[in-house]
Amino acid sequence: AGAGRCKLHAADPKAAVAAVHGNLFRIFYDGIERFAFVLENIDEVIVSEGEEAEQIYAFAGRGLLSLLEHALVYPPDWPAREPLLTSYADKTAGHIVRDQINKAVARGALPNVTVDFTDDVDSHGAAWPETFTMDLRPGVTLASLVGQFVTLGYDVCMTSGLVLRLFLRRGLDRTLGTAPTVFRQGYNLFSKTRSASSAEVKSVALVATQAGLSEFAKASEFGRREAFIDAVDQDVTTAGRAASLLLDTLAIEDEGFTSRIESIVGASEVFEDFDVGDWVLVDVPGKIDLAKYRVQALTMDASESPVKWEVDFNSIRYDWNIRVKRMLDALNAGSLRASTG
């Protein structure tokens, strides 16, 4: 969902207008809106130097997807208390999410929020490839509901016009063609901080399904590390799918990194040659040899000129690892079944 923050001098006329919780802050770059966040925190700072004092307001908040945390799943015939569960049988992600958004809007929980996908196609117009069977209990946030589909590879965002967008896959593959987007150390890639962790490595999965216990194993340099999947409400096929994906990714360490980058016209210009969700190539001599990474997040620092940019890169392995871990959580919650069709 991202986050944002900015500062305004108390004497700035915009400060008094802006200092209202829930206001929408829209951030422009080169005259085009690129980011937005909801005002959730206001700090009033007195800066003193010698005999003079300045009053500064610091505004901060999370991205617009955080609005989904303010709406819940209700019983389907509310205000009737029964039936308790909202059941969907063989429905697309678009149908399920759109239905819950519309119900929340009707209750007044998400004023002005709309969607641009349908029961049949995603926000890019691509047909949904699978259907889901779900039983939703009251109290689940719509953020958690959408998060379940993110675990299965879907992407989501919300525009500053409060339009919720749901994709099979957001972003472009910029690694193809004659002019791929490449980040090279010392040219447009600087101050790289790599993150690698073996804390979550697992090589054996003991799975409880409707048919009983099954064991899945995969060779790992870290030896035998066991994980349990409680999927007693799932059929063997669905649980086995999760176990296989789990071990394909968790048998190796996580990898990703954050780097300061330079926006270069025609090579690595922000929003032109790459954007959040895109795949790019990274070249760090002796470390990374033109490997394919996904742009997970962009951070813009406009506190001084020129604007500074920082990018979070995650490898294919790391990106899918995150999704599998979330899929495991969804399966353990016993609320998700999927079928292709």
Residue 114: predicted pLDDT: 96
* Res. 118 pLDDT band, cuts 50 70 90: very high
Residue 248: predicted pLDDT: 61
pLDDT > 50? residue 316: no
Lowest-confidence range among 10-14, 82-86, 268-272? 10-14
Distance CA 287, CA 282 (A): 10
pLDDT > 60? residue 147: yes
Mean pLDDT to the nearest integer, 55-76 = 89
What percent of the chain has a predicted confidence (pLDDT) above 90? Answer: 22
pLDDT > 60? residue 319: no
Residue 196: predicted pLDDT: 52
Strand partners, 280: 293
* Res. 37 pLDDT band, cuts 50 70 90: confident
SS3 41: strand
CB 60, CB 4: distance < 8 Å: yes
Residue 318: predicted pLDDT: 45
pLDDT > 90? residue 115: yes
pTM of the model: 0.71
The two tokens of residue 65 are 């997807």
Residue 263: predicted pLDDT: 86
Q: Which one, of 117, 147, 73, 34, lies nearest residue 155 by Cα?
A: 147
Q: Is the dihedral of CA 159, 165, 171, 172 positive or negative?
A: negative
* Res. 338 pLDDT band, cuts 50 70 90: very low
Most confident region among 9-13, 110-114, 215-219 by mean pLDDT:
110-114
